[in-house]
Amino acid sequence: MSALREKHEDGALGTGRANVRLWLRLLSCAMVVEKRLKRRFAERFDTTLPRFDVLAALDRQPEGVTMGALSRSLLVSNGNVTALVQTLVRDGWASLGSSPDDRRASIVALTPAGRTAFERMAEAHHEWIDKWLGGLDGHERVSLYGLLGKLKDSIAEDRP
């Protein structure tokens, strides 16, 4: 009876709570790794993950980017980027200039000190991730990467 009831509630396309369990497991993996990274960045480099994310984005754009472009590439709000960049400028890791084309726009770029700091951190970041994800063999890694790609598409499909 209970089994029938469940089947009926799920309907033809239903998945019970499988999707929710999948989501919770995904979230759990992401949270654990993120919290560990956060702690490591604080301990070894006295900085934070969001600041590292900004440095990484800037490292990919040697000529500098506008605040808006940075905000979009990091998927965080404009105001948040403003605050993060301010601290990086204060610490001498980023520089802020005006665009010659558009007086509204600010161009933010990595300083040499910022680039050096980023490279040191990126290497450690790489090693930590390799260690934590090292339990998957090559086949599993490729599989998981592909499935996450499908998941990403599925998520992107529904945007109201």
Partner DNA sequence: TGTCATTAGTTTAGGCTTGAAACAATAGGG
Partner DNA sequence: CCCTATTGTTTCAAGCCTAAACTAATGACA
Q: Select 86 or 143, whichever has its Cβ closest to DNA.
A: 86
Sheet hosting strand 106-110, strand order edge to edge: 65-66, 106-110, 94-98
Residue 141 interacting partner from a second copy, DNA, none (CB closer than 5 to 8 Å by kind): a second copy
Q: Segment near a second copy (CB under 8 A), from 61-69, 84-92, 107-115, 144-152?
A: 144-152
Tell which residue, 115, 71, 124, 72, has the closest CA to residue 92: 115
Tell which residue, 96, 111, 90, has the closest CA to residue 66: 96
Q: Report if residue 152 touches a second copy, rule: CB under 8 A.
A: yes
Q: Alpha helix (H) ranges present in 15-137? A: 18-45, 49-59, 67-74, 78-90, 112-132
- The number of residues that bind DNA (CB under 7 A) is 31
Vertex 47: Cα angle to 45 and 52 (nearest 5): 100
Residue 130 interacting partner from DNA, a second copy, none (CB closer than 5 to 8 Å by kind): a second copy
Q: Select 119 or 140, whichever has its Cβ closest to a second copy.
A: 140
Burial category of 41 from C-beta neighbours within 10 Å (exposed 0-12, middle 13-18, buried 19 and up) = buried
Q: Report if residue 12 touches a second copy, rule: CB under 8 A.
A: no
Which positions lie near a second copy, rule CB under 8 A? 13-15, 17-23, 25-35, 75, 125-126, 129-136, 138, 140-141, 143-145, 147-158
Which positions lie near DNA, rule CB under 7 A? 35, 39, 48, 50-51, 66-69, 71, 75-87, 96, 99, 102-107
